[in-house]
Amino acid sequence: MMDYQPILNQIVEDVQAIADRGKVADYIPQLASIDSNKFGVSLLDNNAKQFSAGDAEEAFSIQSVSKVLLLSMAFSIVGDDLWQRVDVEPSGDPFNHLSLLEMENGIPRNPLINAGAIVICDVLLSHLKDPKSEFLEYVQGIADDSSIAYDNAVAISEKKTGFRNYAAAYLIKSFGNLENEVEDVLDFYFYSCSISMSCEQLVKLFYIFVNRGKCLKNKSYLSLSQVKRINAIMLTCGFYDEAGEFAFEVGLPGKSGVGGGIVALLPNQFCVATWSPGLNEKGNSKLGMLALEKLTTKTGQSIF
């Protein structure tokens, strides 16, 4: 059994000494005032032992990280029919770009870019009575934590400035790949992005992707084959046009969000989450990526 604690302590010390911490996302006004000095990390191993350092208990806006949970909920409801609505190829494009969407007839490249998650939200809207509360209950259930919540101020703030997401949704709708009204789909999408939680909560949530679809309480949410597919999508598409760089530097499937969170995992071994609000030019947490590179290098543990 590996003792990750000294490794995490050293990582926090190392990254806290770095002066250039990237730039906090400000296109969602509510996120612009987050303190860029924050840094947290938490790791949950396959014996359910948790190790944390820095600001690991502080909640932040998980943003695009929630796209993996939207995907897993939709996949478990509709199965492989899902792939008629969204593809599984890396986009090589920034997370909010529209050009491929037009060229590829409204079928988003993958479920982890904004356009893909918008289609997934539409699928959920068609299958659930009350998508917002059912999705939150799904997330709370997996993490076994009813304190996880939407951040209304963040959702409302993004709704006012989410012009590119409106453009994407209308483009998808024009190709016939949205069944519901754009306003309803985007309302659900913005709320799903606004969920806030800490690194310590995030690793419990993503434990299902480490543990063959089962949460810490051993309840099953996904089949082994579905976990394999979602982990593959995280590896190839979880970091937008930096997915190759993340695989190269870190070597784990994972997902980032513009709130500065990253979650990554080694199947059957561990799940790790970092939070540092400053982003690099590709929209991924600058220090989070560095920290995870240090983790897989120091431990020698990665999928490669």
Task: Please state the residue numbers annotated as binding site for substrate.
Answer: 64, 114, 158, 165, 189, 240, 258
In angstroms, rounded to a whole number, what is the distance separating the alpha carbons of residues 273 and 72? Answer: 18
Among 158, 237, 250, 275, binds ligand DON (CB under 6 A): 158
Is 177 a binding residue for ligand DON by CB under 6 A? The answer is no
For the bound state, the minimum distance from the C-beta of residue 283 to ligand DON, rounded and expressed in Å, comes to 4
Scanning residues 220 to 249, which ones bind ligand DON (CB under 6 A)? none
Place of tokens 């990582």: 11
- Per rule CB under 6 A, count of chain residues that contact ligand DON: 12
Distance of CA 289 to the CA centre of its chain: 14
For the bound state, the minimum distance from the C-beta of residue 5 to ligand DON, rounded and expressed in Å, comes to 29
- For residue 180 the two structure tokens come to 């519901």
Among 11, 185, 193, 272, binds ligand DON (CB under 6 A): 193
In angstroms, rounded to a whole number, what is the distance separating the alpha carbons of residues 251 and 286? Answer: 16
* Surface-to-core class of residue 300, CB atoms within 10 Å of its CB (0-12 exposed, 13-18 middle, 19+ buried): exposed
Is 283 a binding residue for ligand DON by CB under 6 A? The answer is yes
Scanning residues 38 to 77, which ones bind ligand DON (CB under 6 A)? 63-64
Candidates 8-16, 33-41, 130-138, 256-264; binding stretch for ligand DON (CB under 6 A): 256-264
Scanning residues 77 to 96, which ones bind ligand DON (CB under 6 A)? 95-96
Among 69, 258, 265, 291, binds ligand DON (CB under 6 A): 258
Sequence ranges of the binding site: 64, 114, 158, 165, 189, 240, 258
> Binding string, 1-40, against ligand DON, x = CB under 6 A?
----------------------------------------
- For residue 150 the two structure tokens come to 């939407």
Q: Are strands 40-45 and 23-24 parallel, antiparallel or unpaired?
A: unpaired
Is 274 a binding residue for ligand DON by CB under 6 A? The answer is no
Of 22, 68, 91, 96, nearest in space to 243 by CA: 91
Pair 179, 237: CB distance under 8 Å:
no
In angstroms, rounded to a whole number, what is the distance separating the alpha carbons of residues 154 and 158? Answer: 6
For residue 50, the cross-strand partners are: 44
> Binding string, 113-142, against ligand DON, x = CB under 6 A?
-x----------------------------
In angstroms, rounded to a whole number, what is the distance separating the alpha carbons of residues 80 and 28? Answer: 34
In angstroms, rounded to a whole number, what is the distance separating the alpha carbons of residues 291 and 23? Answer: 17
For the bound state, the minimum distance from the C-beta of residue 109 to ligand DON, rounded and expressed in Å, comes to 14
Is 256 a binding residue for ligand DON by CB under 6 A? The answer is yes
User: Residue 180: which residues within 8 A CB-CB, separation 6 or more?
Assistant: 122, 125, 126
Tell me which residues touch ligand DON (CB under 6 A): 63-64, 95-96, 114, 158, 165, 193, 256-258, 283
